[in-house]
Structure 1
Amino acid sequence: MKITGSQIVIECLVEQGVDTVFGYPGGAILNIYDELYKNENRIRHILTAHEQGASHAADGYARATGKVGVCMATSGPGATNLVTGIATAYMDSVPLVAITCNVGKSLLGKDSFQEIDITGVTMPITKHNFIVMDVKDLAQTIREAFAIARSGRPGPVLIDIPKDVTAAVTEFEPLKNPSDVDMLISRHKNIKRAVTLSEPDEGQLKMAAELINGAKRPVIYAGGGVKISGAEKELLAFAEKADIPVSESLMARDCFPSLHPLCTWMVGMHGTKASNMAITESDLVIAIGARFSDRVYGDSSKFAQHAKVLHIDIDPAEINKNISTDGCVVGDVKQVLAALLPMINAVKHDEWISQVQEWKKEYPSCYDKNPKDSINPKFICECINRIAGEDTFITTEVGQHQMWTAQFYPFSKPRTFITSGGLGTMGYGTGAAIGIQLAKPERRVVHIAGDGSFRMNCNELATISHYNLPIVIVVENNNALGNVRMWQRLFYGKRFSQTTLDFGPDWVKLADAYGIKGYRATNAKEFEKVFAEAFKSGKAAIIDARVDKDEMVLPMVPGGKPIYNMIMELSKEMMD
């Protein structure tokens, strides 16, 4: 049958199992939006307040479900407004397809109204991108884009379609054999990151097993790849059989039960003493689905100096990129751990585990559990967990509140902590919460934000209100860009340049403007009361939770220092 390019877009999205897209219309993409109108019974479109919100919502949808998230935007500024969201997905290996429409082919390259070379702009931050100049290539391009986005190490793919291509007519044949598409993606030589998968190499597995069985003080460094591959059960079985403590990157905080005796929580700049010291004193670091971020290793020359390093990752480009390894297994983490499990010995490392448990007891003493005129961040996490339960999704923006959540929230189930890791995108969490809530309407989302980050994309309150999404937003309000202020206190002579946010808005009044219930809490008792009320109402709510502007995120490793060089508490001189 002969159909238009816009109809092909719809048919291919349906083929790929897409039920929800996030976007914002404009002139160049009008043909596709006309087809979305005609097919609203097949694909749900969510209109966000801003294209960046659409990209973050698609990202959150993907992280919560494991499916490919989809966002759309028009040409020019519409397309460039997606860039931050695409980069966020790229850094955290999130499967995303962004569809943009450009000016007509005859207008390309002429600085036409709302023209932008969006494939050129996004080349460094996509796994691959396309501009479709012939409608005959459109269906195959869309199919390949989805295959690339979800295969191997996932990531974002962008498809740019000139407006006249969306109007052109061609013959369309429904997809018959999905595997044909997976075979065809290998023809694209410039795809970044791993695409195709193969069985783990037997030689690599044997060497890995020998390293693990020979270790006396092993430690696991789990990364976001555990979650992406769905290997949480395999990780648990692996750690328990070999009696190995598990430290986690920010992206893996929900990959291993927080209250499990072997869990040492987060590692790195704001990691626990147990995690940082376990890696420092170990004789084998087993990195699983992790990319050795600079926030994890600090001074690379002094990272795990007494240890051999075994790296398990799907992407061979990550091996020896930041930290030199003594062994590796390239492959899907779930498959690799399943293959390794029968090869490793069931042992006990009693002396080593006892030492790790001693480190776990050492925690900062500077947290006031009962401040009179503010709320302790640890209490906020404990209170939310107690009332909302373990099935609730927790999202964050980026900053102190994000680190407090990672440090204090006792995650126990996979894919319940969703945050921007690699790019550190302030303004990410509100859009992500929208995508998650729409993907999982039977569950609840609590969004923990800082006042600095939340103001960046609080326009998405319009989306939350319009679609009646029961998201509870907790704004940890310290009237400051808290993380930057903390660095200014410690390293810039307390010169608080442009980090004071004492000029509004009033979050309760803003909530009311969007038709959302607003609350304010200035102490622990008030917070517990209003959060319980907000959560149990089953409706959207904002809680302005007052946190002291000088509350710190500790432990802290100064930038570029060894991860054992931790600031555990502040001196009087630092606080005065």
Structure 2
Amino acid sequence: MKRERLTMSQALVKFLDNQYIEFDGVESKFVSGIFGIFGHGCVVGVGQALEQGGHNLKFYQGKNEQNMALAAVAYAKHKDRKAIIPCVSSIGPGATNMVTACGCATANRIPLLVLPGDTFACRQPDPVLQQAEFFDNYGRTVTDAFKGVCHYFDRINRPEQLMTACLNAMRVLTDPADTGAVCLAMPQDVEGEAYDYPEHFLKKRVWHIDRRPIAKSQLDRAVRMIKESKKPIIICGGGVRYSDAEKQLLAFAEKYNIPIAETQAGKGIIPWQNPLNLGGIGVTGGKAANVIGRDADLVIGVGTRFSDFTTSSKWLFNENRKVLAINICPFDAYKMDAEAVVADAREALDALADALNGYKTKYNDEISKAKAEWDAIVDDYYTKELDGGLNQTLALGIINEFMGDEDIALGSAGSLPGDMQRLFRPKGRGTYHMEYGFSNMGYEVNGALGAKLAKPEAEVYTFCGDGSFLMGHSELYTAVQEGLKINVCLFDNLGWGCIENLQNNQGTDTFGTVFRARNPKTGMLDGAEIAVDFAKIAEGYGAKGYSIHNSAELRAALEDAKKRTEPVLFDIKVLPKTMTPGFESWWRVGVAEVSKSESVRAAYDDMQKNIKKTFDY
């Protein structure tokens, strides 16, 4: 058996460079680059292996470990989980900075490989710089924190352990049912230790993503449930996108006249203009999908994990409805006490379309009326000017209308995801990119870099609030460094407006959710507003900044930015509390059971009434 003597890090780089996937007969490279921030835990290990060359991995220099890993999440998401950019860090804080990004990847079912440095396996330089010591377990290090947010965790304490670690990492990263974050912790001494690695481990390896067919028994049960229903509704989730099943879903819906509602991950797959597409459903959904969904007698979930936002905390659907869940992941397929179809979405929809011949729903004009009413509501939000400044929904409408057919809209947290699920009208397949499984503030700017790396020919418009921008935007500098134009649409409403609304709606006065100076008279954060010139921050990085206070300035800035090649930031000053409200939905949050405030007590009573309308599973 031929072998090659390499350090663990050199073998890791060579292994990653030779990983490919095959899906529907198309073979593609799975790893084409690596994000990294070097420190003493990795610069002479993986850093040395990358520097010496002999590979085809492009190195991207991150500026913050969490943010570069969020960019990697966005890259994999926009590649429909068919390519990744692993992330390398030093030990200690460099490693733990990536824990949040791993939580984001796992919550969203996105493959992310993190390679944090770790303390010495030999334990001789002890304790090393940046090592946290645990008195109860000498073998525990801070990288154990990754175990709670990863689908696979391994610590490579000997160089030969790399082989089983890498194979199991790839098993999870390429598994459509079990994918998420993967952590391979790498003690810094082991990174430089050598082993005679067998040639078969280092050669090209193709991982096949096979479609799981629907079992006949599952098909029979699903057909029986659908035929017994009169007014079913389809919930289109992100699994439809990852299965490339949008054509099959639409053909199935049109053949049997079944309305379609969208989750955040499923939005932008079916054209919004289609007469059966009722738009977003749930807490951040619109009136059309929520009204039709409330009256449905069968909920057909396709590739959705049935989050509390999709189901309105299990409040939305009527008590007599049944649930049929088509999902490649058994964990998701059995949610909501559903009849589970554990199969690939495309395979299942094709089989159902053939097996249901003769079936017809009992809808009359309910679908068309609900859609027409909702389209008119969206038109009104997108065109209405308010006195006193620029409202958030108008600004969103102007940008939405301006964007080209292939331009990407990206978001994650705050009030904008609600506005976007309700109002945004994607113009092409894959042009709506929302991370909402984790609602990870700080994802937006960094995610825009990842989406741009995934599709460099497209314009990427990322939508974030001022609060989210302040939490993490370091990879704006990386975009400048790489010559990648991203468009940052920053909606400045002087605080965390979404949470302030939630706070006020549950009876609590505004507290700690707006950005104001400390008031010396009250000792509270209720002093003067603090104006921030975000355009100047962008210009300090080398991007182009625009200060915007009205619709005319926004339109002019969008036109000018189209001519630019560097990243741009639109500092859009919007009126607070001008986001959309909820439509026929409810979200369960914990309200104080006892309070001196009458409004809080009323909110608690209201919560109890709504809890009685939900289902206990």
Question: C-alpha separation between the residues in 2 aligned to 1:84 and 1:466?
Answer: 25
CA deviations over 1:403-458 (Å, ceiling 9, x no partner): 21222111143332222212111001111111111222112211111111011112
Distance 1:40 1:354 in 2: 64
Corresponding position of 2:401 = 386
Out of 414, 430, 434, the position equivalent to 2:445 is 430
2:137 equivalent in structure 1:
none
Q: Distance in 1 between matches of 2:359 and 2:385?
A: 43
Amino acid at match of 1:115: Q
Q: How does 1:246-395 map to 2 (within 5 A)?
A: 246-300=260-314, 303-321=317-335, 323-325=336-338, 327-345=339-357, 349=361, 352=363, 354-360=365-371, 361-362=373-374, 363=377, 369-395=384-410
2:109 is the counterpart of 1:93: yes
* 2:213 corresponds to 1:199: yes
> Are the equivalent residues in 1 in contact too, given 2:416–2:579 (CA < 8 A)?
no
Q: Distance in 2 between matches of 1:136 and 1:227?
A: 38
What is the CA deviation profile of residues 169-214 of structure 1, one whole-angstrom value per residue up to 9, with x for unaligned ones? Answer: 111234479999979xxxxxxxxxxx99743211001211222233
SS of aligned partner of 1:161 = strand
For the Cα contact (< 8 Å) 1:447–1:474, is it kept in 2? yes
Corresponding residue to 1:462 among 447, 461, 477? 477
Q: Which runs of 5+ in 1 are unaligned?
A: 184-194, 562-576
The letter of the residue matching 2:183 is L
Question: Are 1:144 and 2:168 an aligned pair?
Answer: yes
Q: Which amino acid aligns with 1:27?
A: H
1:166 equivalent in alignment to 2:182:
no
* Per-residue deviation, 1:247: 0.5
Question: Which whole-Å CA distance do the structure 1 matches of 2:344 and 2:37 have between them?
Answer: 36
Q: Secondary structure at the match of 2:41?
A: helix
Aligned length: 548
Q: Tell me which amino acid in the other structure corresponds to 1:89.
A: A
Contact kept in structure 2, 1:72 and 1:99, CA below 8 Å: yes
2:7 is aligned, of 4, 7, 22, to 4
**Counterparts of 2:64 and 2:499 in 1: how far apart (Å)?**
26
Give 3-state SS (helix, strand or coil) of 1:219's partner: strand
Q: Does 1:114 align with 2:130?
A: yes
Counterpart residue number, 1:234: 248
Moved more, 150-159 or 33-42: 33-42
Please state how far the C-alpha of 1:262 moved relative to its aligned partner. 0.6
Distance 2:226 2:142 in 1: 47
Change in Cα spacing, 1:414 to 1:127, as seen in structure 2 (3 Å) is: farther
Query: How far does residue 330 in structure 1 lie from its aligned partner after superposition?
Result: 0.5
Distance (whole Å) between structure 1 residues aligned to residue 470 and residue 149 of structure 2: 25
Counterpart residue identity of residue 20, structure 1: G
What SS is found at the alignment partner of 1:537?
A: coil
User: How far off is 1:98 after superposition?
Assistant: 0.9
- The corresponding residue for 1:190 is none
SS in 2 for 1:235: helix
Alignment of 1:44 with 2:58, yes or no, is yes
Deviation at 1:44, TM superposition (A): 1.0
Cα deviation code 1:236-281 (max 9, x no counterpart): 1121112111011111112221121111111111211111111110
- Equivalent-residue separation in structure 2 for 1:386 and 1:202 (angstroms): 46
User: Percent same amino acid among aligned pairs?
Assistant: 27
Distance 1:346 1:452, change over 3 A: farther
Query: Which whole-Å CA distance do the structure 2 matches of 1:40 and 1:378 have between them?
Result: 51
| Higher helix residue share | 1
Q: For 1:406, which of 398, 412, 421 is the aligned residue?
A: 421
Measure, in 1, the Cα distance between the counterparts of 2:113 and 2:469.
25
Could you report, residue by residue, the CA deviation over 1:464-519 in whole angstroms, capped at 9, with x for unpaired residues?
22112110111111112110111233223433434235424311111121111111
Do structure 1's residue 528 and structure 2's residue 555 form an aligned pair? Answer: yes
2:587 corresponds in structure 1 to: 559
Quote the Cα distance in structure 2 between the aligned partners of 1:229 and 1:108: 49
Task: Find the counterpart in structure 1 of residue 609 from structure 2.
Answer: none
TM-score using structure 1 length: 0.89
1:478 partnered with 2:508: no
1: distance between equivalents of 2:541 and 2:254?
49
Contact 1:451 1:475 in 2 (8 A): yes
C-alpha contact (below 8 Å) 2:446/2:473 kept by paired residues: no
Normalised by the length of structure 2, the TM-score is 0.83
> Does the Cα contact within 8 Å between 1:119 and 1:129 map onto a contact in 2?
no
Q: Is the 8 A contact 1:102 1:161 kept in 2?
A: yes
Q: Does 1:243 align with 2:239?
A: no
Post-superposition offset of 1:304: 3.1
Looking at structure 1, the residues matched to 390 and 220 of structure 2 have their Cα atoms a distance apart, in angstroms, of 52
Conservation of the 8 A alpha-carbon contact between 2:14 and 2:202: no
Aligned to 1:539: 566
Using the alignment, how far apart are the partners of 2:203 and 2:296 within structure 1? 46
- Aligned 8 A contact 1:24 1:73 in 2: yes
CA distance in 2 between counterparts of 1:85 and 1:558 reads 29
CA distance in 1, matches of 2:100, 2:307: 20
Q: For 1:114-140, what per-residue CA distance to the aligned partner results, in whole angstroms no more than 9, with x for missing partners?
A: 236345211121111111112112134
CA RMSD of aligned residues (A): 2.6
* 1:442 maps to amino acid: E
One-letter code aligned to 2:345: V
